[in-house]
Chain A
Amino acid sequence: MPHEAGLSFAASFAQALLDPARSTPADLTGPNGKAAGRRYDVYRNNVTVSLIDALAAIYPAVQRITGADFFRAMARPHVRSNPPTSPLLFEYGRYFPEFIAQYEHAQAMPWLPDVARIERAWLDAYHAADALPLSPGRLSAVTPDRLADLAFIPHPATRCLRSQYAAVTIFAANRDDAPVTRIDASRPEDTLITRPEFDVAVRRLPPDGAVFANHLISGRPLGEAAAAALEASSEFDIAANIAGLIEAGAFTSLASGDPT
């Protein structure tokens, strides 16, 4: 709906909310002709602070790593340039990892964006649809000649992320208040996030497990996923990896070759 007569108030009110350089909208006033400046600033403050708080709630490990002051200084320009487009705040902050990667003062922590990506994926898994995970017995009932063509339906909560850094170790060490010991950040790590029932589980995948997992999550058959993983490493353990994914609750069912 374009602005009809008498309904332009929201446009001028909204325009200055996230831009402290703009002056108070001219149609606002306090009582008896009092000024509206500090009064309007209450809204500005509510919006900016509540959105920074929302990012802090989504990215607690990032905040713990940077400290609250650094985090809030980093989040402020992001919420101003990227306010939410959905009223569901648990959907907010998808562009924040990329923002962190570009943020001048975070360049000494090149692993920080990947830690943030794990946190964002964690929240997606938390709110994902409920589904029962695939029972491990289902795979053993498949005859060997059908295994290569077997595909899997991923659980709605399943996410697989790759990092050139020890992102999942750093994530896990900073999601609570326990003391953190020294971490070698330079070791590449891949992350599997699942929620087999109600608790989100975050795992570090074995080397090249992400190549295999991502093929299966995207619906490619087992034979193709195995070939890709073996191409990455001739020592890749297919049996252990598929068992690990199923045990983690990464899938809900078999897409084809289902024996039942």
Chain B
Amino acid sequence: MSTVTKSTGPAAVPLRFATPIGGVAGTSFKPEHLPDILEAGPRRGFFEVHAENYMGAGGPSHRALEAIRRDHPLSLHGVCMSIGGPGPLDKAHLARFRGLVARYQPALVSEHLAWSTHETSFFNDLLPLPYTAATLACVCDHIDQVQEAIRRPLLLENPSTYVAFRQSSMSETDFIRTVAERTGCGLLLDVNNVFVSATNHGFSALEYLANFPLSQVGEIHLAGHAEQADDEGDLLLIDSHDGPVADAVWKLYEIVIQRRGAVPTLIEWDSKIPDWPVLQAEAAAAQTILDRHQSAMPVGDRHAA
């Protein structure tokens, strides 16, 4: 039973909630891995794609995504909605996003607490915002619009940041919790982002996680980061997605899973992309941790734990 109908709103897109996929580990889908993935056949897990890469009218990208989606649950991860920006959402972009949700029926749909477009310029980066009453109202309004368009809850991802705004009047966790309460959205907890931001801003990652509304978390991201230095020569971590998950992030992840129970977990790897077996091994490591805690999760696969 995966289809729910609703009499309100436009009828073009059926309201359909995918079966919860439970505590499985997935990977970013990279087209260069397609032959290996298809040859290996259906596997436990899911694939996540950046929505914008599949917003073309047709061609090989859609053929690849169809092939992946045939045998696996999909996570649709939006990167460019600019939910955290002060400007109005791009209606054409929202329509494309809605179209992808309708076409591919993803198990998970997520976007970022960040912005990337200002006026007519698209900056192709996840830019930070101050946490104030004004930005809170704006973000909630944008999420309402997205959820109305796709007619299902969105998972909002916590950012990794390098700067803070002097005008911020609330903590990131308070901001995110209030957004979830007001809009009913779920949360995508990026544990690497927590670690990166904690290092960059000198706060405790464990304290951040203690204040994070874990019960709202519907997906977790894990990724690698890189090291630079700030103006004072201190360590500045860069959310680079270009390597294996750091040991410290694995530790935080296990703490989160202990508290939250098993939830879908993605290994994000977007540049210096390794061969498929390397990426798969990283997902297997996450799956091992998930399987240790499967009993804590009421939904999901039944298997030997």
Contacts and interface: CB of A to CB of B under 8 A. Distances in A.
Question: Do these two chains really belong together in a complex?
Answer: yes
Interface of A: 1, 3-11, 13-14, 17-18, 27-32, 34-40, 42-43, 46-47, 50-51, 54, 83-90, 125-131, 156-157, 195, 198-199
A129 B57 contact: yes
Interface of B: 52-53, 55-63, 79-80, 82, 85-88, 90, 93, 115-125, 127-130, 132-135, 138, 162-167, 200-203, 228-232, 234, 236, 238
Contacts of A46: 124-125
A87 B115 contact: no
A109 B56 CA distance: 32
B279 to A, nearest CB: 20
By Cβ-Cβ distance, the 6 closest A-B pairs, closest first, are: A6-B134, A127-B56, A87-B80, A7-B86, A130-B58, A35-B231
A125 B59 CA distance: 8
Given A38-B231, A156-B58, A3 B122 contact: no
A43 B59 contact: no
Contacts of B232: 30, 34-35
Contacts of A54: 124
Contacts of B162: 39-40, 42-43
A47 B125 contact: yes
Given A10-B85, A87-B82, 14 more contacts: A5-B134, A9-B135, A9-B165, A14-B127, A31-B203, A36-B231, A39-B162, A40-B162, A50-B125, A54-B124, A126-B60, A128-B59, A198-B59, A198-B60
A17 B60 CA distance: 34
A84 B93 CA distance: 14
A25 B119 CA distance: 18
23 contacts: A7-B86, A7-B135, A9-B86, A13-B127, A14-B127, A30-B163, A31-B203, A34-B234, A35-B230, A35-B232, A36-B231, A39-B200, A39-B231, A40-B162, A42-B162, A47-B125, A51-B124, A87-B52, A87-B93, A89-B52, A90-B53, A128-B58, A198-B60
Given A90-B56, A156-B57, A83 B122 contact: yes
Nearest to A83: B121
Nearest to A54: B124
A24 to B, nearest CB: 8
A1 B162 CA distance: 27
Given A27-B166, A87-B122, A38 B58 contact: no
Contact of A28 (B55, B80, B164, B230): B164
A129 B58 contact: yes
A7 B230 contact: no
B236 A39 contact: yes
Query: Which of A13, A50, A125, A129 has the most B CB atoms < 10 Å from its CB?
Result: A13
Contacts of A90: 53, 56
B125 A43 contact: yes
A10 B164 CA distance: 13
B134 A37 contact: no
Contacts of A195: 59
A1 B88 contact: yes
Given A13-B127, A42-B228, A198-B63, A6 B132 contact: yes
Contacts of B56: 88, 90, 126-128
Contacts of A5: 134
A25 to B, nearest CB: 9
Contacts of A14: 118-119, 121, 123, 127
A90 B200 CA distance: 33
A88 B52 contact: yes
Given A10-B115, A88-B55, A127-B61, A31 B123 contact: no
B58 A6 contact: no
Contacts of A89: 52, 124
Contacts of B230: 30, 34-35, 38-39
B28 to A, nearest CB: 16
A50 B59 contact: no
Contact of B165 (A4, A29, A86, A88): A29
B86 A4 contact: yes
A109 to B, nearest CB: 28
A124 to B, nearest CB: 9
Given A27-B167, A84-B122, A130 B231 contact: no
Nearest to B169: A6
Nearest to A46: B125
B85 to A, nearest CB: 5
A50 B138 CA distance: 27
A50 B57 CA distance: 24
Given A87-B117, A89-B52, A10 B166 contact: no
A13 to B, nearest CB: 6
B57 A6 contact: no
Contacts of A88: 52, 55-56
Contacts of A32: 202
A157 B270 CA distance: 29
User: Which interface residue of B79, B125, B234 has the most chain A CB atoms within 10 A?
Assistant: B125
Contact of A84 (B121, B127, B135): B121
